C-alpha cells in the first residue's frame, strides 16, 4: 500500500470534490487500488492556505464555508494564498492543480505546474491552459525530473478520452477525431431544436449553471479550441498552437437554420475536429456542422460530451459521457493518480 501526500492548489468545485472523495473513500481505495491520499497542504486565492505535513482532516476541509480567508479559521491556517510554499514545502508527492483556466497564456497555473515538476513532485491537473499552451515544455520538464504530468480531466472531465485513446486504442492508428467537447453549446443547440431562440437557450443554460455570465468561451468555440489542441497534440502527435485552429461558434445559428436542418433529417452540432491529411499534416477546426441523423454524434443531446476517434484498424470508436461536474472532474484527478501509481518509474 502506498500513501501519497497531496497538495491541492485551488480549492473550488474540483479540488473540494477530490477532498470529499478522500474523506469518503480513502479506506476503500486502500483495499481496491493499493493507495491512499493524505492532504498535506491546500492553497486558494479566495480561501487562503494551510499546511500540515502530518495530514489535514479532509472532511473538515470540505465542511469549510466558501468565505473569503476561511482557512484562517483552522489551526495553522492563513487567509493568504501561499501557493509557492504549499507547492514546494508541504512535503507533497503530488500536486493537484485546479485553479482557473487562463486561455491566453495559461498562467499562473503553468507556473504552479513548473514549480512542482522542477521540485520532483508529480502534477495532476484539470486545467486546459497549461496543457494547451505549454504542454510540450511541461511534459519535457516532467520527463527530466522523472515525475508524472497527467491531465485526463482537462478535455472531457471524468469521461476518460485521453487515456482511452492513448492506451486502449494504441496500435489502432488514430487518423483523426470529431467531438462535441462543450456541454453548454450542445445544451443550447438541443434547446433550440426544441423551439427556443438562441438567446432564450443561453439564458436557460445560465440559469442551470452551465453557462457563465459571459458565455462567449462556450458559444464562440474558444473552450473547444483549447481541447482540440490538447487532443491533436496528444493523439496525432501534432505540434498545434491555439492560433493554428480555425474557430467559429454557434452564435450565428438561427431558429430558422435549426428548423430547416430538422426538416431534412439533420442537426447542427459544434464540432471540434482534427484529421491527419495525406501529406502527414494535421488540419484542425472548431465549427458548427450539419450532421446527418446516422452520424454517431447526432444523438448526443443536452450537456453531454462525446468524441469519435477515426482509426485505421477498428473504424470509428465513439465515447460519450459527462464533460463537467465537480465530482466527475475530481474523479479524473483520481484516475491520473491511479495512472502515476501504476507506472513504473526507475
Ligand atoms: N468544474 C468542472 O466541471 C470542470 C471540468 C473540467 C475542467 N475544469 C477545470 O478545472 C479547474 C478548476 O475548476 P473548478 O470548477 O474547481 O473552478 P472554481 O470552482 O472556480 O475553483 C477554482 C479555485 O481556484 C482559485 N484560484 C484562482 N486563481 C488562483 C491562484 N492564482 N492561486 C490560488 N488559487 C487560485 C479560485 O479562487 P477565486 O475564486 O478567488 O478566483 C477558486 O477558488 C479549472 O481550470 C476548470 O476549467 C473544471
The CATH number linked to 177 is 3.30.360.10
For the chain, what is the domain count? Answer: 2
Mean pLDDT over residues 261-283, rounded? 96
Ligand 1 binding pocket includes 130 (Cβ within 6 Å): no
Q: Are residues 174 and 147 in the same domain?
A: no
Query: How would you class 191 by CB atoms within 10 Å of its CB: exposed for 0-12, middle for 13-18, buried for 19 or more?
Result: buried
User: How close is the Cα of 99 to the center of ligand 1, in Å?
Assistant: 4
Ligand 1, pocket-test mutation among 87, 100, 212, 218, most atoms within 8 A of CB: 100
Mean pLDDT over residues 173-179, rounded? 98
User: How close is the Cα of 48 to the center of ligand 1, in Å?
Assistant: 14
Report whether 186 contacts 211 (CB < 8 A).
no
Report whether 210 contacts 113 (CB < 8 A).
no
Query: How would you class 63 by CB atoms within 10 Å of its CB: exposed for 0-12, middle for 13-18, buried for 19 or more?
Result: exposed
CATH of the domain at 121: 3.40.50.720
Which one from 5, 38, 128, 227 is the annotated catalytic residue? 227
Report whether 221 contacts 286 (CB < 8 A).
yes
Q: Are residues 176 and 301 in the same domain?
A: yes
Residues 6+ apart with CB under 8 A from 301: 186, 190
Comparing CA positions, the residue from 163, 190, 161 lying closest to residue 304 is 190
How many H helices and E strands in the chain? Answer: 13, 12
Q: Whose CA is nearest to atom 43 of ligand 1?
A: 12
Q: Are residues 110 and 232 in the same domain?
A: no
Distance between CA atoms of 282 and 260, rounded to whole angstroms?
32
Annotation says 68 is catalytic: no
* pLDDT at position 127 over 70: yes
Distance between CA atoms of 285 and 283, rounded to whole angstroms?
7
C-alpha cell at 208: 442551470
Q: Are residues 21 and 120 in the same domain?
A: yes
Q: pLDDT-derived band of residue 346, with 50, 70 and 90 as boundaries?
A: low
C-alpha cell at 107: 498562467
User: How close is the Cα of 147 to the center of ligand 1, in Å?
Assistant: 23
User: How close is the Cα of 251 to the center of ligand 1, in Å?
Assistant: 26
Give the residue carrying C-alpha cell 480567508: 69
Q: Are residues 87 and 194 in the same domain?
A: no
Q: Are residues 171 and 298 in the same domain?
A: yes
Distance between CA atoms of 309 and 318, rounded to whole angstroms?
6
Distance between CA atoms of 89 and 110, rounded to whole angstroms?
18
Q: Are residues 172 and 315 in the same domain?
A: yes
Q: pLDDT-derived band of residue 345, with 50, 70 and 90 as boundaries?
A: confident
Q: Are residues 153 and 177 in the same domain?
A: no
Distance between CA atoms of 288 and 268, rounded to whole angstroms?
6
Ligand 1 binding pocket includes 81 (Cβ within 6 Å): yes
Q: Whose CA is nearest to atom 19 of ligand 1?
A: 12
Q: Are residues 232 and 206 in the same domain?
A: yes
Q: Are residues 107 and 226 in the same domain?
A: no
Mean pLDDT over residues 203-216, rounded? 92
Q: Whose CA is nearest to atom 30 of ligand 1?
A: 45
Q: Are residues 190 and 130 in the same domain?
A: no
Ligand 1 binding pocket includes 45 (Cβ within 6 Å): yes
Which of ligand 1's atoms lies nearest the C-alpha of 328?
Answer: 3
Question: Using the 8-state DSSP alphabet, how is residue 16 labeled?
Answer: H
Q: Are residues 6 and 153 in the same domain?
A: yes
Domain that holds residue 145: 2-158+326-341
**Of all residues in the chain, what percent carry a pLDDT higher than 70?**
100
pLDDT digits over 287-334, tens only? 999 999 999 999 999 999 999 999 999 999 999 999 999 999 999 999
| 346 occurs within a structural domain | no
pTM: 0.97
Query: What is the number of alpha carbons within 13 Å of residue 36 lying toward its C-beta?
Result: 13
Q: Whose CA is nearest to atom 12 of ligand 1?
A: 98
* pLDDT at position 152 over 70: yes
| 266 occurs within a structural domain | yes
Distance between CA atoms of 124 and 71, rounded to whole angstroms?
23
Mean pLDDT over residues 36-47, rounded? 98
Amino acid at each position: 500500500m502506498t500513501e501519497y501526500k497531496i497538495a491541492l492548489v485551488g480549492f473550488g468545485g474540483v479540488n473540494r470534490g477530490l477532498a470529499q472523495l478522500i474523506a469518503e473513500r480513502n479506506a476503500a481505495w486502500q483495499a481496491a487500488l493499493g493507495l491512499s491520499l493524505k492532504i498535506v497542504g491546500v492553497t486558494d486565492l479566495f480561501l487562503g492556505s494551510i499546511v500540515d505535513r502530518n495530514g489535514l482532516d479532509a472532511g473538515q476541509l470540505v465542511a469549510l464555508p466558501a468565505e473569503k480567508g476561511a482557512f484562517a479559521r483552522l489551526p495553522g491556517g492563513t487567509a493568504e494564498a501561499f501557493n509557492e510554499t504549499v507547492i514546494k514545502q508541504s512535503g507533497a508527492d503530488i500536486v493537484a492543480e485546479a485553479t482557473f483556466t487562463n486561455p491566453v497564456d495559461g498562467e499562473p497555473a503553468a507556473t504552479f505546474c513548473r514549480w512542482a515538476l522542477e521540485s520532483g513532485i508529480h502534477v495532476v491537473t484539470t486545467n486546459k491552459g497549461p496543457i494547451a499552451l505549454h504542454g510540450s515544455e511541461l511534459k519535457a520538464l516532467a520527463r527530466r525530473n522523472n515525475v508524472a504530468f497527467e491531465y485526463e480531466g482537462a478535455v472531457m472531465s471524468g469521461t476518460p478520452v485521453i487515456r482511452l485513446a492513448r492506451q486502449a486504442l494504441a496500435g489502432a492508428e488514430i487518423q483523426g477525431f470529431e467531438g462535441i467537447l462543450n456541454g453548454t453549446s450542445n445544451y443550447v443547440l438541443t434547446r433550440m431544436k426544441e423551439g427556443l431562440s438562441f438567446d432564450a437557450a443561453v439564458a436557460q443554460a445560465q440559469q442551470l449553471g452551465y453557462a457563465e455570465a459571459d458565455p462567449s468561451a462556450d458559444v464562440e468555440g474558444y473552450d473547444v479550441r483549447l481541447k482540440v489542441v490538447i487532443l491533436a497534440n496528444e493523439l496525432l502527435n501534432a505540434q498545434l498552437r491555439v492560433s493554428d485552429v480555425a474557430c467559429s461558434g454557434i452564435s450565428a445559428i438561427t431558429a430558422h437554420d435549426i428548423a430547416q436542418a430538422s426538416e431534412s433529417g439533420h442537426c447542427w452540432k459544434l464540432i471540434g475536429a482534427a484529421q491527419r491529411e495525406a501529406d502527414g499534416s494535421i488540419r484542425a477546426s472548431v465549427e458548427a456542422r450539419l450532421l446527418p441523423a446516422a452520424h454517431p454524434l447526432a444523438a448526443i443531446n443536452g450537456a453531454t460530451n462525446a468524441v469519435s476517434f477515426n482509426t485505421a484498424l477498428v473504424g470509428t470508436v465513439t465515447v460519450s459521457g459527462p464533460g463537467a461536474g465537480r465530482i466527475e472532474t475530481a474523479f479524473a484527478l483520481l484516475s491520473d493518480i491511479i495512472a502515476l501509481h501504476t507506472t513504473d518509474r526507475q
